[in-house]
Amino acid sequence: MALAAVTVLGVAGCTRPAQYEGRDGIFDPYESGNRKTHEFNRDVDRALLRPLAKGYVAVVPDGIVISVGKFAENLGEPSNAVNHLLQGNVRGVGRNVTRFLINSTLGFAGLFDPASDFGLYPDKTDFGETLHVWGASEGAYVELPVFGPSTERDAAGRVVDMFTNPLSYVLPTQEAAAANSAKVAAKLGDRGRYSDLVDSVLYESADSYAQGRILYLQNRRHDLGMDTEDTYIAPEDVNTQGF
């Protein structure tokens, strides 16, 4: 685990711009390759994910789609706790553990989220964030096959997160398989429930690759607390003459 982390830190640090380069804080030296992956992802979505997801949310009642999502989310809490621990975020660990205990019991094995009713809202994290806390730079933007928009740092984090969930070491094979199915179903549920939003980015924007890239980077930097007040756009920044 520690060895993996060190390796990953080395990988995450391999493409390191002094500052964000290019327009709007985007560092995308692999753009041509990324665009090919994007076309592949769009084909997969169009042919497989989108129709499956639409069918899934059309057939399965909304309450069950949400419960499956919650179930998968609950199974991720131990991984969140481990990463919060690695980040030295004690409050985060406390929240993840408490949520896991409440939702696994009162929430019928995580199908419901009573913890949120008590004001204990989800606090997700991952090894990509841990790398950020440890000081690794974001690296270049990358679009991963199937998983979609990412950065070098987050892609490395994804690899390590295959090993950060304690549940994966204790669950018997059958239960582990069920957990993985739930995760896939949760992804389909998200794709189905936010169908219009995802469609608008993938199929209605002038350049879906560029839109996906800027949406991901902004949202991710926000989640990691990288968008400070200095990054806000001020009302004096452009000349409005003629508009």
Partner 1 sequence: MSRFTRRTFMATSAAALMALALPLPAFALNDAEARGLVDNLVSEINDVIASGKSETAMYGDFERIFRKYADLPYIAAYAMGVDARRASDSQKKAFTNAFTGYISRKYGKRFREFIGGRLEVQGVKQVKSFYQVTTTAFLRGEAPFEVDFHVSDRSGKNLFFNMYIEGINMLLTEREEVGSMLDRRKGDIDAMIADLAKAG
Residue 131 Cβ, how far from partner 1 at the closest point, in Å? 19
Shortest Cβ 140–partner 1 spacing (Å): 18
DSSP structure class, residue 49:
I
User: From the CB of residue 48, how many other CB atoms can be counted at a distance below 10 Å?
Assistant: 11
The CA–CA distances, whole Å, from 208 to 37, 154, 202, 213, 239 equal: 12, 21, 5, 8, 28
Q: Could you tell me the smallest distance in angstroms from the CB atom of residue 196 to partner 1? A: 6
In terms of CB distance, is 39 or 62 closer to partner 1? 62
Q: Which residues bind partner 1 (CB under 8 A)?
A: 24, 62, 66, 69-70, 116, 121-122, 193-194, 196-197, 200, 204-207, 210-211, 214-215, 218-223, 227, 229, 232-240, 242-243
For partner 1, the closer of residues 22 and 55 by Cβ is: 22
Judged by CB, which is closer to partner 1: 7, or 219? 219
CB of 199 to partner 1, least distance (A): 10
**CA dist 154 → 19, 28, 171, 223 (Å):** 18, 14, 26, 12
CB closer to partner 1, 131 vs 198: 198
Long-range contacts of 62-67 (CB under 8 A, 24+ apart): 62/193, 65/189, 65/192, 65/193, 66/189, 67/111, 67/112
**CB 127, CB 161: distance < 8 Å:** yes
Least spacing, CB of residue 20 vs partner 1, in Å: 13
Q: Select 8 or 65, whichever has its Cβ closest to partner 1.
A: 65
